[in-house]
Amino acid sequence: MTSFLQIGFNFLLASSSPTTMVACSYGWHWCNLRCVAALEFFSTTRLNAYVGIQQDEIWAVVETLFRESGGSFTKVEMRSRQVKMEDLVEGRRFLNIIREKIDLSQTSNPGDFLPFLSCQEKRMLKLQSENDAVLDELIGERRKKLGAYQHGRGRTNSMMDAMILSQASKPEHYADEIIKGVIMTILTAGTDTLLLTIEWAMSLLRNHPEVLEKAKAELDSRIGHKRLVDESDLPKLHYPQSIVKERLRLYPAAPLLVPHESSADCTIGGFDIPRGTMLLVNAWAIHRDPKVWDDPASFKPESAFEWGRMTEELEDMFEGIGITMRNGKPLEAMCRAHNEMINVLSET
């Protein structure tokens, strides 16, 4: 569990005030971090401001698939296609740190029981130091660009820029350590989990072609073949939304939710829980509870590409072990552009 808590940025063994929502105890500091994340990342204004960036990222993946397929079925490995951060040297460096932290957290740490076997903890602390250096460089670079903008050279409007600009008026809310903690939390929680959601969903669709056909029929009737799906279309795409929800039920990205600690003595499900107890919520078990769900292990709720099978074998649905539930084997599929979408995709 020690290794899991150290995923939070700047988790100091001698400090009781980490700078992330993941490892921070409830109180003023946690409420402030939650407020910063809500205002700078998840407010309607912020999300609308970055719709263009989201669309660019989607088009980048679609363009890559279209270029590689070349009009015929082509084998593609999906996991690596979903992270454009790898295209930049600093992006690869940062992404590798995140991935190694997650990998370390998914293994048992003997040092939790035998302190002299603490090599895993030392490696995690070293990764934190490397992570700190990358984020310091990034914040310093953004400050220089903001200075250039204030002198009339260029323009910028990133989330990090907004937090840096807020330091002057609210230094206690937007200190560098808090900015780094918020960024690390968002990227760690939003990188691996998103990739896993997409990969598990595609694996399920390829194992259930009848579901894929229903989803394609709804997309054809509501969107057509003259454009790609836009975010504003999502509310009317009911069946694809059901597919995503059913995927999250069967294969939650985090089968064990973030640990909580009871702040007072309480009773849960008939069990007395003392104050200070670490509580782990098993979302996987809740989502497959036969008392709540009929046939809980079955997938019951498929676009611009036609997907074919590599072989007639079903996709390997082996569930990896860890704080995030990875597919045991990276998804590989045969991909080609849908004939009726070629004109639209060629515009990329």
Mean pLDDT across the stretch 244-249? Answer: 90
Boundaries of domain holding 48? 2-346
The separation between CA 4 and the C-alpha centre of its own chain, rounded to angstroms, equals 16
pLDDT at 265: 95
CB 10, CB 19: distance < 8 Å: yes
pLDDT at 328: 58
Strands, E, within the chain: which ranges?
A: 74-77, 260-261, 266-268, 271-273, 278-279, 305-308, 332-337
In the predicted model, what is the mean pLDDT of the chain? 74
> In terms of Cα–Cα distance, which of 240, 236, 201, 209 is closest to 222?
236
Can you tell me the distance from the alpha carbon of 215 to that of 301, in angstroms, rounded to the nearest whole number?
10
pTM of the model: 0.68
Tens of pLDDT, residues 281-293:
899 999 999 998 8
Number of independent structural domains in the chain = 1
Tens of pLDDT, residues 254-273:
888 888 888 899 998 899 99
Q: Which residue reads 């295209």 in tokens?
A: 87
Can you tell me the distance from the alpha carbon of 344 to that of 348, in angstroms, rounded to the nearest whole number?
8
Tens of pLDDT, residues 291-346:
988 889 999 884 334 445 545 555 555 555 555 555 656 666 666 666 655 665 56
Which is higher by pLDDT, 308 or 185?
185
**Does pLDDT of 165 surpass 50?**
yes
Return the top range by mean pLDDT from 20-24, 168-172, 317-321. Answer: 168-172
SS3 content of the chain, % helix, strand, coil (to 5): 55, 10, 40
Which is higher by pLDDT, 239 or 128?
239
**Does pLDDT of 102 surpass 70?**
no
pLDDT band at residue 55 using 50, 70 and 90 as cut-offs: confident
**Does pLDDT of 86 surpass 60?**
no
**Does pLDDT of 121 surpass 80?**
no
pLDDT at 90: 60
CATH at residue 61: 1.10.630.10
- Mapped onto helix, strand or coil, the DSSP state of residue 319 is strand
CB 229, CB 204: distance < 8 Å: no
Angle of CA points 309, 315, 317, to nearest 5°: 165
